[in-house]
Amino acid sequence: GAVVSQHPSWVICKSGTSVKIECRSLDFQATTMFWYRQFPKQSLMLMATSNEGSKATYEQGVEKDKFLINHASLTLSTLTVTSAHPEDSSFYICSAEGTSGRGGELFFGEGSRLTVL
Amino acid sequence: QKEVEQDPGPLSVPEGAIVSLNCTYSNSAFQYFMWYRQYSRKGPELLMYTYSSGNKEDGRFTAQVDKSSKYISLFIRDSQPSDSATYLCAMRSPGNTPLVFGKGTRLSVIA
């Protein structure tokens, strides 16, 4: 199956700083990537849909100025949490649809755990 | 009503038991149905993939989709302690649409 790589897998930062998370499709091109957030013992909640070369589409309640998404190439999407606060501490996971996969199948990264002190 | 409903559990079974996990949904546009397994602090891992209705078997795992009832199931036979994880159902409409997840069911298989 297709591989999606996320980096960093784990980050701790001070309140007020910004953190960038990268999501790469390693062996396929992804015109669309999806960013999810998962709080402890809860399911994955879609934050935004990232389209290569255009602006991301954010879900209701997700602040686009706080969670900056850039999808500059067919293999890389980034999520930047700006001016992070403790309530932003969560598990962030990206996914992408691979051209080599079955219709509808999404491949997930390993996730990035953010802790804001 | 949420798009996808899944009992969060927790569900605890003895080793060797048959486990049944279920989800219901309301969006008739969903065509792709998946089950993911997620271990603590890890990303979801695809277990089963089904397009439209029907059954699919892979080793100890069987997935069933009943579109007329908007109901999907995952059965795990001869459950093992290593099956202890959270199981998430997920489904998707055709096109560039995101996966919609259930809440996930936490399963513990006791040796």
DSSP H or E stretch at residue B74: strand B71-76
Of B53, B74, B56, which Cα lies nearest the Cα of B65? B53
Within 8 A of B41 by CB-CB distance, chain A residues are 91, 111, 113
Flag if A104 and B92 touch (Cβ within 8 Å): yes
- Could you report the per-residue pLDDT of A2-61, keeping only the tens digit for each? 789 999 999 999 999 999 999 999 888 888 899 999 988 788 899 999 888 888 999 999
d(CA A85, CA A16): 6
Flag if A6 and B43 touch (Cβ within 8 Å): yes
Query: Looking at chain A, which residue has its C-alpha nearest residue B102?
Result: A43
**pLDDT over threshold 80, residue A65:** yes
DSSP H or E stretch at residue A69: strand A67-73
Flag if A95 and B99 touch (Cβ within 8 Å): yes
Query: Looking at chain B, which residue has its C-alpha nearest residue A111?
Result: B43
Q: Which residue has the higher pLDDT, B20 or A41?
A: B20
Residue pair A84/A90 in contact by the 8 Å Cβ criterion: no
d(CA A63, CA B63): 37
Average pLDDT over residues B72-93: 95
Pick among A7, A69, A106 to test the B interface (most B CBs inside 10 A): A106
Give residue B28's Cα distance to chain centre. 18
- Mean pLDDT is highest, among A62-71, A102-111, B41-50, for A62-71
Nearest Cβ partner for A110 among B6, B42, B101: B42
Residue pair A115/A12 in contact by the 8 Å Cβ criterion: yes
Other C-beta atoms closer than 10 Å to the C-beta of A94 total 31
Within 8 A of A95 by CB-CB distance, chain B residues are 99
Length reported for chain B:
111
d(CA A92, CA A87): 13
Average pLDDT over residues A92-103: 76
Flag if B102 and A43 touch (Cβ within 8 Å): yes
- The predicted pLDDT at position A51 comes to 86
Whether the CB of B89 is below 8 Å from some CB of chain A: the reply is: no
Return the structure tokens found at B72.
């999907």
Write down the mean pLDDT value for chain B: 92
Nearest Cβ partner for B101 among A43, A51, A97: A43
Whether the CB of B2 is below 8 Å from some CB of chain A: the reply is: no
